[in-house]
Structure 1
Amino acid sequence: MATVHHWSGLEAHALRLALRMSVRGFAQHLGVAERTVAKWNKLLESTEPRPDTQAILDTALARADAAVHLRFETLLSEAGRPEAGPGRRVTASGPRAWEYESWTDDLDRVVVALSRQSFAFADNLLGRWLGRFNPAELDDKGLYLFARSTALLGDLQRDQGAVLGPLSAQHSYVGARSAFSQLDIPRRIAQLDLSLAVVAEMSGRLEIAARHYETLAVDDRLSLRDRARARLWVGTALSKEGNHDYAARVMLAATRAFEDLSEPDDWSVAHQKLALAHRGVGNLDAALHFIAIARSTGVIDSPMQRVRLDTAHGHILLSDQATRDDGLHVLDNAAKLAAKFGLSHQLRSIEGIQMTSEGAPGPRRR
């Protein structure tokens, strides 16, 4: 919480505004004359309350809730007080209690924003905190929030298709993993290992990704759901390598795990992956069966999942000359949605499918 070493009319005025009180109400709250409060408002730093009134102001600030402290420090920041150098009146070591609370709330908002592909909003929220503190100066709670923020930044970059490089998902995930290792939180470390395996898959290092997924699928540091996801992604990597039969068997095991865990969205995604694996071996009837299940189950309330489903559906339809035109139409709509929400990785995938399909006759259904 904020501490005022020596009150002037400026801090007293900021506290009144932070408490959202009128001059009369603030005077009554403190037990001072209205003309005293009016003097603070007018003269600001040019006047100072008496010592006994300073103590009253200390008590009023100490009893205020976190929201008042936030408004109080914001008002002083806008007035230039926190940067006043050696004479700074308001101090605190590291993040204050209200900052931890606000930071945590903002991270919850980031999760929601990412689920809706509101990338600009999520980036703004994360930047608010990642640029505010030096991680080397944070206590364990602050470092945990910093690590979570960095991991979510990695999710944002991954969803936008920034996979490798200094401003990429891989860079952010490595930084978050280092922070969680410093805090010795095994579950979070394993989750970052899983995210880094996804990055390896997205960047085309399929054999490395599959090997990491296989290890994580039996890693006790992860929850049962995360282990099932790793098993599903083993199948995804294998399918991309062309090993469709084995991939389908692995994915089916993951599908059963999601059913046992009562995870309908993951169960739906697993059927989408199964559909693509069956398309890979030319079993289009099975592929259409599984993609129909994927499209009719789960909660499809995010542009990302809609694009992924439509991309898979369009890919399958393209594989049969009888439904080729329908497939092109579905992929075209998926590309427009991906472009609208800045899903560059998905857009590149769609464009790759479209280019590959040009002039290439697909197998008939069997």
Structure 2
Amino acid sequence: MATVHHWTGLEARALRLALRMSVRTFAEHLGVGVRTVSKWEKLLTATEPRPDTQAILDTALDRADTAAHLRFETNLSEVGRPDLGLRRRVTVTGPRAWEYESWTDDLDRAVVALSRQNFTFADTLLNRWLERFEPPELDDRGLYLFARSTALLGDLRRDRGAVIGPLSAQHSYAGARSVFTRLDIPRRVAQLDLSLAVVAEMSDKLETAARRYEALAVDDRLSRRDRARARLWVGTALSKDGNHDCAARVMLAATREFEDLEEVDDWSVAHQKLALAHRGAGQLERALNFMDVARSTAATDSPMQRVRLDTAHGHILLSDPATRDDGLRVLDNAAKLAAQAGLSHQLRSIESIRMTTGGQTAPGDGDQGDAA
């Protein structure tokens, strides 16, 4: 945003044009005489408003919307010359108005890219801004965009399988959480707590993850949908820890919540998780029934979702000697797609399933994949 250190008639005229006001309307807007504004327009840098009027102009600029700020900065850039000393009178700190708009647009594009596992493009969009600005130079709006970018970078790293370490999902989520805490946005902080719980589960810290999920499932900072997701993931952690019957009961409650909320995608994912819980309990027929529901209702335009569905389906088929070959085939297809999409965590899950469920262990063993 532009900051005017010392107003002259030049900056006042640029503001009037940016606000798209006539001389008379601008004078009324500021509470000064028409002749005063006309003098600014005529003399430009040769005249300076009085100190109290300088403060009024500061307020008018602060209250201008984003589009007006952009026009103001553009007006000054078009008329400014070194001999006028414009650089000493006006500075731009942090993102300019147009950069805020571009940054917001890039975040929306990054969300779409991540949903399609286009990691390279999403990484470019996010780091374009994270590398351009440092938090100390940003106002609250800039900090919000910075934190959102950092959280999305955490999602990217999580989906790529970088869970812990300095260049990991955990590091990004913790950084974003710190900024949202500073901005006092409890809902965003709670969402980052949920993401950090997922990281704990993916790191096989199942007891820690389950405790965090249980707390977040009743956390009023979260939306009803996010609380239901936390409840579902309590069940996922329990099932991974071998407590399949309890896990199924918890997951069923979350499934009913998604049905009540008419969240079709979450409802489908819940059936996938229920299928795996019943597989773990050795109830393969029920597992296949839940899996059929998940496969028939899931939105499979995302490589991640297709890999998760095929991995879960293959896991269940592989648990029955009669369908073992079908399970291996489904897992092979899932592994190929995961490799193409760069889903390294999913690849590790598939390999774990092959090793632990391929006729070597009991139906209750093996990895279910991550909660995210």
Identity %: 78
Residue equivalent to 2:256:
256
Tell me if structure 2 keeps the 8 A contact 1:321–1:362.
no
1:168 and 2:168 correspond: yes
5+ residue gaps, structure 1, are: 6-50, 56-63
Q: Deviations over 1:189-245 (max 9, x none)?
A: 000000000000000000000000000000000000000000000000000000000
Alignment of 1:1-366 (within 5 A): 91-360=91-360
Tell me if structure 2 keeps the 8 A contact 1:231–1:254.
yes
What's the secondary structure of 1:204's corresponding residue? coil
How far apart are the structure 1 equivalents of 2:350 and 2:298? 23
How far apart are the structure 1 equivalents of 2:113 and 2:245? 37
Tell me if structure 2 keeps the 8 A contact 1:320–1:362.
no
How far apart are the structure 2 equivalents of 1:2 and 1:211? 47
How far apart are the structure 1 equivalents of 2:3 and 2:185? 33
Cα distance change, pair 361–92 in 1 and its aligned pair in 2 (3 A): closer
1:95 positional shift = 1.1
How far apart are the structure 2 equivalents of 1:299 and 1:333? 18
**RMSD of aligned Cα (Å):** 3.0
Q: Deviations over 1:284-318 (max 9, x none)?
A: 00000000000000322100010000000000000
How far apart are the structure 2 equivalents of 1:173 and 1:242? 28
1:355 positional shift = 1.6
What's the secondary structure of 1:222's corresponding residue? coil
What's the secondary structure of 1:285's corresponding residue? helix
5+ residue gaps, structure 2, are: 6-40, 46-65, 364-372
Q: State the TM-score, normalized to the length of structure 2.
A: 0.75
How far apart are the structure 1 equivalents of 2:88 and 2:332? 59
How far apart are the structure 2 equivalents of 1:3 and 1:105? 24
Q: Structure 1 counterpart of 2:145, which letter? A: L
Q: Count matched residues.
A: 302
Cα distance change, pair 326–93 in 1 and its aligned pair in 2 (3 A): same
How far apart are the structure 2 equivalents of 1:286 and 1:264? 21
Residue equivalent to 1:41:
none
Q: Structure 2 counterpart of 1:108, which letter? A: D
What's the secondary structure of 2:220's corresponding residue? coil
Cα distance change, pair 2–138 in 1 and its aligned pair in 2 (3 A): closer
How far apart are the structure 2 equivalents of 1:361 and 1:143? 50
Q: Structure 1 counterpart of 2:121, which letter? A: F
How far apart are the structure 2 equivalents of 1:87 and 1:196? 45
Residue equivalent to 1:43:
none
How far apart are the structure 1 equivalents of 2:102 and 2:315? 44
